[in-house]
Structure 1
Amino acid sequence: MSSHVPNRARVIPLRPVPAAPGPGPAAREPLWRDVVGDVLRRERLAQERTLKDVAEAARISVPYLSEVERGRKEASSEVLAAAARSLGLGLADVLSLAQGELARRSSGFRTSSVRASTGEVRLAA
């Protein structure tokens, strides 16, 4: 009789587990979808509006808007523009807010790859 070892399933997360904040190899560079989702949620909450209200105005589903806000879905430019309009903003407004937030969050990730003083860019292989 052979000894049978049961199959063991490996759990592979769909999304990396966020590392502790701060610079260093364990820190994770922010993703665009996370930043854009945070901007949309922050704007919606500042207006004291519900997901349902904004989704209906944007003509997108509530679950999809929720996924976008949580950074789980990479929304198309059409969806982002519709969500922005439903919040009384333009697409450029949302993208500008997201760009500022992305720059703030990722400031520690540029130290070794870009040298601002000389314009030198280094790529690691």
Structure 2
Amino acid sequence: MAGLNVGSLGEYIREQRRNAQYSLRQLAEVAGVSNPYLSQIERGLRRPSAEILQQIAKALRISAETLYVQAGILDEREEGDREVRTAIMADPAINDRQKRVLVEIYEAFRKENAQDGAVRDVPGAADGTENGKPGRAGTDTSISGHEE
């Protein structure tokens, strides 16, 4: 994953704030962050969490994914891929480290599938066959470790 470019992120947020005709105080209030904190983000002095970026994006009426890409948290991807990443990054029930791990796991699965060829529907997956052929012996493909 790309590193966070705090300076350009702050410049981008400042530009979006000005385009929305918000003062720094107004945006801070609408986004639910302190005025000094938002000022530090805009000046590239602070690294905002994904949750703060989401609050700022909502206040600016832009997609949170746009800010995640600008921050280097997400790479620009195809639409379905972006939706998954945005949902992970927007989940308030998990912390930033957990979000990064989930995105990394997701990327690993996508990379693995790309190496194996196009992702395909798997007819017969419930009975352990793939495209009419038996699956790998002893391989448990369920996430929880038990059949449902």
Q: Does 2:63 correspond to 1:87?
A: no
Structure 2 counterparts to residues 107-122 of structure 1, below 5 A: none
> CA–CA distance in 2 between the matches of 1:78 and 1:98?
13
Deviation at 1:44, TM superposition (A): 0.4
> CA–CA distance in 1 between the matches of 2:70 and 2:13?
9
Structure 1: segments with no counterpart, 5+ residues? 1-30, 100-125
Q: Does 2:21 correspond to 1:53?
A: no
Preserved CA contact (<8 Å) 2:8 2:70 = no
The one-letter code matched in structure 1 to 2:58 is R
User: 2:141 aligns to what?
Assistant: none
RMSD: 1.9
State the Cα deviation string for residues 1-43 of structure 1 (Å, max 9, x = none): xxxxxxxxxxxxxxxxxxxxxxxxxxxxxx6111111110010
Deviation at 1:54, TM superposition (A): 0.7
Structure 2 counterparts to residues 69-88 of structure 1, below 5 A: 69-88=42-61
Preserved CA contact (<8 Å) 1:68 1:75 = yes
State the Cα deviation string for residues 39-89 of structure 1 (Å, max 9, x = none): 100100112110111111111000000000000001111111111110001
Matched-pair identity in %: 32
**Structure with greater contact order relative to length (CA < 8 Å, sep ≥ 6):** 1
> CA–CA distance in 1 between the matches of 2:19 and 2:68?
17
1:67 to 40, 47, 55: 40
Preserved CA contact (<8 Å) 1:57 1:86 = yes
> CA–CA distance in 1 between the matches of 2:71 and 2:51?
16
> CA–CA distance in 2 between the matches of 1:48 and 1:98?
22
Preserved CA contact (<8 Å) 1:55 1:61 = yes
Q: TM-score normalised to the size of structure 1?
A: 0.51
Q: TM-score normalised to the size of structure 2?
A: 0.43
Deviation at 1:94, TM superposition (A): 2.0
Preserved CA contact (<8 Å) 2:54 2:64 = yes
Preserved CA contact (<8 Å) 2:53 2:64 = yes
Greater share of helix residues, 1 or 2?
Answer: 2
Preserved CA contact (<8 Å) 1:39 1:98 = no
